[in-house]
């Protein structure tokens, strides 16, 4: 999990560097393209039959949410301080709770609902909407968190119908096709240095995803999730030394509130799942004949 946090922090730095000369849409396209190249061996091994899906609409929604999420997130990384952009990305569990209640019919108990509300208060503390006009980059960061939350919720809806290999392959191909459309309108041929930077971005991001998946496959979510927030520290440090960023105190207060609320949601959810079922009340059980 520490490796994943490090790789994703480096990814954020590379996005910010690439965003100085390339449009966000083009960066997203190359990120998706290099991500697809990673799964090509899986397609060769599984055959074209793995591309057959049972819920094409859900796959389309997931890919759309992912491209929107990457575009908004990359734009935020480029135009905001890294500490702020990374902290905003951690609001995705808050949006997932709302989306799960709407689209999956999940019941939100008062503790989780209160923690969600507090998390959004932390986001407001960070961006201070009443202090001045809200920056487009802030709105992009919030939209990205919402879109990524939507993509993750859609995965939960797809899993009962399609195999994991199918989900991975269709996602990789669909995102490349969808990202190519807006990229075509802002296209500029990358230089050799920019191409190497984009290639490195794709490789590092893929390594981060692999570490992230392995961490949750091996370790408990309540242990892994807190480690992931190291990204905020690493991003803040990188922003300070590489881009001369000095986030205000409100950024760290808002980030602390977001981290505390999302951690509570994760740990509370784990306790509820681990709790043994309540035994039936003998007094409420009718006597046998």
In a domain, 191, yes or no: yes
59-100 pLDDT, tens per residue?
Answer: 999 999 999 999 999 999 999 999 999 999 999 989 999 999
In a domain, 117, yes or no: yes
Helices (H), 47-109: 56-79, 82-89, 92-103
In a domain, 277, yes or no: no
Do the beta carbons of residue 141 and residue 84 sit within 8 Å?
yes
- The tally of domains found in the chain comes to 1
In a domain, 284, yes or no: no
- Going by pLDDT thresholds of 50, 70 and 90, the confidence category of residue 220 is confident
- Mean predicted lDDT score pLDDT of the chain: 87
Domain that holds residue 180: 2-272
163-174 pLDDT, tens per residue?
Answer: 888 888 899 899
What is the model's pTM?
A: 0.88
Q: Is 121 exposed, middle or buried (0-12, 13-18, 19+ CB in 10 A)?
A: middle
pLDDT at 277: 54
In a domain, 235, yes or no: yes
In a domain, 278, yes or no: no
Cα 41 from Cα 45, distance rounded (Å): 6
In a domain, 281, yes or no: no
- Taking CA atoms, 276 is separated from 130, 222, 271, 272, 273, in Å, by 46, 18, 10, 9, 8
């Amino acid at each position: 999990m520490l490796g994943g946090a490090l790789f994703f922090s480096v990814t954020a730095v590379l996005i910010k560097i690439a965003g100085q000369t390339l449009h966000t849409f083009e960066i997203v396209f190359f990120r998706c393209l290099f991500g697809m190249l990673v799964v090509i061996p899986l397609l060769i091994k599984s055959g074209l039959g793995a591309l057959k899906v049972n819920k094409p609409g859900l796959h389309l929604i997931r890919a759309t949410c992912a491209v929107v999420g990457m575009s908004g997130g990359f734009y935020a990384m480029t135009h905001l301080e890294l500490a702020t952009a990374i902290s905003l990305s951690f609001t995705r569990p808050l949006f997932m709770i709302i989306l799960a209640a709407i689209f999956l019919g999940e019941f939100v108990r008062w503790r989780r609902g209160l923690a969600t509300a507090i998390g959004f208060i932390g986001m407001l503390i960070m961006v201070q909407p009443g202090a001045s006009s809200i920056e487009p980059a802030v709105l992009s960061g919030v939209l990205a968190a919402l879109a990524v939350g939507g993509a993750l919720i859609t995965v939960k809806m797809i899993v009962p119908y399609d195999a994991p290999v199918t989900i991975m392959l269709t996602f990789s191909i669909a995102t490349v096709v969808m990202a190519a459309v807006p990229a075509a309108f802002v296209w500029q041929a990358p230089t050799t240095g920019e191409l190497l930077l984009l290639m490195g971005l794709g490789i590092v991001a893929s390594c981060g995803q692999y570490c992230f998946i392995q961490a949750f496959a091996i370790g408990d979510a309540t242990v892994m999730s807190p480690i992931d927030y190291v990204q905020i520290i690493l991003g803040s440090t990188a922003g300070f030394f590489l881009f001369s960023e000095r986030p205000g105190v409100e950024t760290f207060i808002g980030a602390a509130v977001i981290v505390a609320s999302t951690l509570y949601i994760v740990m509370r959810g784990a306790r509820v799942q681990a709790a043994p079922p309540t035994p039936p009340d003998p007094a409420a059980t009718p006597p046998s004949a």
